């Protein structure tokens, strides 16, 4: 007589749901997710991948490890400050706290004193104007591309915008700014050549269909050699002569000039040079959350704010709260990483290298995120075997190194010093896995 089918010993769903550990998981996970984990584990037992007696422990382990988000925190050891694949700028503690505050009911469009509806994002607008006094008005939308689309639509839909051929940029994931702008119904009138554009090129292109002059900072590449472009101040003169608005897309969101990035234009400089509208991203050199920032003259910004498209691209309460906190609190992780002392980076790298028995090499970090291309950020890195990179990426915590020239490089520029011990433990585990 054969024994009973072992599958009959698999715990029932109601028994597993009654476990205290499973009940506790309801604080983080929905009933649907919990039941799915239980069902998957029971199926593993039916397929003889685990014994029926292991189902309970497997369910508890799976629910303990399961988080409400699939996103995994990563320690950025690449030396690239604004890493697009890692979500660009890491937020400051103040911005993180603001996100928690804004996650509940907040007075985003309510005057608590009167009980009446109020304007959206007033505090964020005021923070932007305080941080950039050259601007008369400000508007925040959901990202930089949306800011450019809104400006193009409101100021030039159905007409022409004049732009230098050398400034027609392709951004990440194959998106091209010319395609983006032409999708609004505006027509681009390209002038000059790839390497040289002169004031006369703009003047000659102005006609009855011209709606605006546009200048785009090519923030993710540079052209050297026999080159020339037209400064904003000269474009302002041409715009005034023909009564045209002047739009400047600076891209990376640097509020004021930074000596570490001498060729990176700032919003303040662009406004002072005469731009009617200046466009930037909030999650790059500004060091905040994803947002599209529009600063400029009151008449131009209000025209954008009143356009129907502004509603479709408006920023949500989380963005507004985090951006305001970023501006008010000042010092951001991006700024600290950009201005990290090379000698202190060397000391940290040497301590880590000594603990691991691994060499330390000179290593230049980068700004990243389409900002200050080619500008080195002098620093140091611990050199590990290239094979360690995979284990580091898949470890706990996940560490993303730079793989270059047959080596796995650990650059501590973007890692808070308090996390050095975590990095060391992760590397010990990764090196151990190679043996």
Same domain for 302 and 428:
no
pLDDT at residue 2, rounded to an integer: 53
pLDDT at residue 3, rounded to an integer: 60
Average pLDDT over residues 210-230: 89
pLDDT-based confidence at 162, cuts 50/70/90? very high
Element (H, E) at 203: helix 199-205
Domain assignment present for residue 370? The answer is yes
Range of the domain at 364: 74-84+336-434
Last residue of a domain, one of 314, 329, 344: 329
Same domain for 32 and 103:
no
Domain count, the chain: 3
Give me the DSSP letters along 215-271: EE--TT----SS-B---HHHHHHHHHHHT--EEEEEES---S--TTSTTS--HHHHH
Which pair of tokens denotes residue 304? 């954008």
Average pLDDT over residues 349-353: 98
Average pLDDT over residues 356-371: 93
pLDDT at residue 307, rounded to an integer: 97
Q: How far is CA 341 from the centre of its chain?
A: 24
Same domain for 118 and 46:
no
Average pLDDT over residues 366-374: 85
Of the given ranges (68-77, 163-172, 383-392, 394-403), which has the lowest mean pLDDT? 163-172
Domain assignment present for residue 391? The answer is yes
Give pLDDT tens digits for 136-145: 999 999 999 9
Give me the DSSP letters along 365-419: EB-BTTBSTT--EEEEEEEEETTHHHHHHHSSSEEEEEEETTEEEEE-TTS-GGG
Domain assignment present for residue 106? The answer is yes
Domain assignment present for residue 1? The answer is no
Domain assignment present for residue 242? The answer is yes
Same domain for 386 and 272:
no
Last residue of a domain, one of 329, 355, 387: 329
Same domain for 54 and 114:
no
Same domain for 50 and 104:
no
Give pLDDT tens digits for 17-41: 999 999 999 999 999 999 999 999 9
């Amino acid at each position: 007589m054969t024994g009973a089918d072992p599958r009959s010993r698999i715990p029932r769903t109601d028994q597993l749901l009654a476990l205290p550990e499973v009940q506790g998981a309801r604080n983080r996970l929905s009933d649907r997710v919990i039941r799915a984990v239980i069902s998957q584990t029971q199926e593993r037992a039916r397929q003889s991948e685990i014994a029926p007696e292991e189902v309970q422990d497997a369910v508890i382990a799976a629910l303990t490890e399961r988080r409400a988000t699939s996103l995994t925190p990563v320690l950025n050891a690449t030396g690239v400050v604004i890493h697009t694949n890692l979500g660009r700028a890491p937020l400051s503690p103040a911005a993180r706290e603001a996100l928690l505050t804004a996650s509940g009911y907040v007075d985003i469009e309510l005057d608590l004193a009167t009980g009446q509806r109020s304007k959206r994002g007033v505090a964020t607008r005021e923070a932007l104007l305080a941080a950039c006094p050259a601007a008369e008005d400000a508007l925040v939308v959901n990202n930089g591309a949306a800011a450019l689309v809104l400006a193009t639509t409101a100021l030039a839909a159905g007409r022409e915008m004049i732009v230098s051929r050398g400034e027609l940029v392709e951004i990440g994931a194959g998106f091209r700014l010319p395609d983006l702008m032409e999708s609004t119904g505006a027509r681009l009138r390209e002038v000059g050549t790839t390497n040289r554009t002169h004031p006369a090129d703009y003047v000659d292109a102005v006609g009855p269909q011209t709606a605006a002059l546009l200048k785009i900072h090519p923030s993710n590449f540079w052209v050297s050699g026999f080159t020339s472009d037209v400064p904003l101040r000269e474009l302002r003169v041409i715009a005034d002569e023909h009564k045209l608005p002047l739009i400047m897309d600076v891209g990376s969101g640097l509020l004021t000039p930074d000596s570490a990035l001498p060729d990176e234009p700032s919003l303040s400089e662009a406004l002072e040079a005469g731009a009617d509208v200046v466009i930037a991203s909030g999650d790059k050199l500004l060091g905040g959350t994803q947002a599209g920032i529009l600063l400029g003259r009151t008449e131009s910004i209000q025209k954008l704010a009143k356009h129907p498209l502004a509603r479709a691209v408006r920023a949500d309460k989380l963005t507004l709260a985090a951006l305001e906190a970023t501006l008010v609190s000042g010092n951001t992780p991006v700024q600290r990483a950009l201005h990290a002392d090379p000698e202190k980076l060397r000391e940290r790298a040497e301590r880590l290298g000594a603990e691991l028995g691994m060499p330390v090499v000179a290593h230049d970090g980068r700004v990243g995120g389409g900002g200050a291309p080619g500008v080195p950020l002098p620093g140091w890195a611990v050199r590990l075997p290239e094979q360690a990179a995979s284990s580091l990426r898949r470890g706990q915590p996940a560490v993303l190194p730079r793989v270059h020239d047959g080596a796995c490089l650990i650059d501590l520029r973007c890692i808070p010093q308090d996390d050095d011990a975590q990095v060391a433990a992760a590397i010990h585990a990764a090196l151990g896995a190679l043996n």
